[in-house]
Amino acid sequence: MPTRRSTPPQSLSAHSGPVPDREAVDTAAARPVRFGALGTSSFGGRRVLPAMTACPQTELVAVGGRSPERSQRFADRFGCAGSSMAALLERDDIDAVYISLPPSLHGEWAARALHAGKHVLVEKPIATTAAEARAVVRLAEDRDLVLRENFMFLHHPQHDAVAALIAEGRLGGLRSFRGAFCFPPLPTEDIRYVPGLGGGALLDAGVYPLRAAAMLLGPGLRVAGATARVRQSDGLDLSGQALLVSPSGVLASVEFGFEHAYGSSYSLWGEGAKLTVGRAFTPPAAYQPVLVLEEQDHVEKFTLPAADQLTASLAGFAAAVTAGGAAASPREARWRQDAVAMMELVDAVRAQAVRVTVEG
């Protein structure tokens, strides 16, 4: 089958599509948004806090963790103040709080930060249930504060290119979406293996393909069925699958887990072609994404520019804070609604999953 290399499709800005608008980030903003970080997590230390100190639109003012020694180590490393978690929320030199705690603490600390008048960027998932997500969202709306999950992939322009190909009719009528985020087992002490901390593959990995399905197929997805491989000792889900259907009849399936070889991809299958995104959720900043479009008699590959989705997430959040009027802005309302909708899908997958018990 012949393969053709093509120039990237037009950006989504020329179309109306399902992906949220990218922020037009004002790099000449008056002053950076001042962050306090809650949690001395591995991910925060390796990825987010270095990006936050480097991003011109954000400034890291303080780090608060449960251990004073570890908080101080982070503070020394990033040239900011060390604090307890509660004291960090009292600081009046902080505009926003970044939360990287175990998922079971996301809702509670997001609520505490909002009560303290801070904007909140919380690691995914926003909460562990839809009811908890709704309560946090209501609080953000009542207080007119920005509340976003740090779903970095949503900020990568490769999904604009996907939406542009759909809008140009290259796939024809959409028939199905398939998404997967799977990776190998983690160290046994990892928070993802602790049920009481919001562990489990659905909350950690399943939320990615679920969110991607919602991003591309729009609101109103329903869960038609689910399966889970759960650990014999405590019922923690190690992997799973779910079937969904969109209001217009597009079928979706998602797969997730941490007992696999690495995979982070989605594909969309239409009546005219199939489109695959090979590094959907965690493309490194220097990686040039390749979209593969398969038609009946040929394959076309689109190589896109590299993009730093983490910095885009931080800069987009900072732009929203700087713009003010968080509750009234349709863009911010969409972020909040999407977060609640995803947790409703998570609840439905959890409720419907046929469980098979495995050693682990």
Ligand X SMILES: NC(=O)c1ccc[n+]([C@@H]2O[C@H](COP(=O)([O-])OP(=O)(O)OC[C@H]3O[C@@H](n4cnc5c(N)ncnc54)[C@H](OP(=O)(O)O)[C@@H]3O)[C@@H](O)[C@H]2O)c1
* Closest to ligand X by CB, 113 or 191: 191
Amino acid sitting at position 54: A
Query: By C-alpha distance, which of 75, 270, 69 is closest to 177?
Result: 270
CB of 75 to ligand X, least distance (A): 13
Question: Is 124 an active-site residue?
Answer: yes
Exposed e or buried b for every residue in 247-274, given b needs 16+ CB within 10 A? eeebbbbbbbbbbbeebbbbbbbbeebb
- Rounded distance, CA 8 to CA 6, Å? 6
From the candidates 118, 124, 274, 301, which is the catalytic residue? 124
* Closest to ligand X by CB, 123 or 300: 123
Q: How many CA atoms lie within 13 A of 124 on its CB side?
A: 25
Contacts (CB under 6 A) with ligand X, residues 105-134? 105, 123-124
CB of 175 to ligand X, least distance (A): 30
Among 128, 150, 239, 246, binds ligand X (CB under 6 A): 150
CB of 295 to ligand X, least distance (A): 33
Residue that has been written with the tokens 């160290």 in this structure: 187
CB of 23 to ligand X, least distance (A): 18
**Bond preceding residue 247 cis, omega within 30 of 0:** no
Site string for ligand X, 57-96 (x = CB under 6 A): --------xxx--x--------------------------
* Closest to ligand X by CB, 40 or 265: 40
C-alpha distance from residue 39 to each of 43, 63, 126, 191 (Å): 10, 7, 15, 13
Q: In the structure encoding, which two tokens stand for residue 297, read together?
A: 């008699």
- The span of 39-47, 172-180, 299-307, 338-346 binding ligand X (CB under 6 A) equals 39-47
CB of 152 to ligand X, least distance (A): 5
Instruction: Give Cα 10 distance to the centre of its chain.
Output: 24
Site of interaction with ligand X (CB under 6 A): 39-43, 65-67, 70, 100-103, 105, 123-124, 150, 152, 191, 197, 204
Catalytic residues: 124
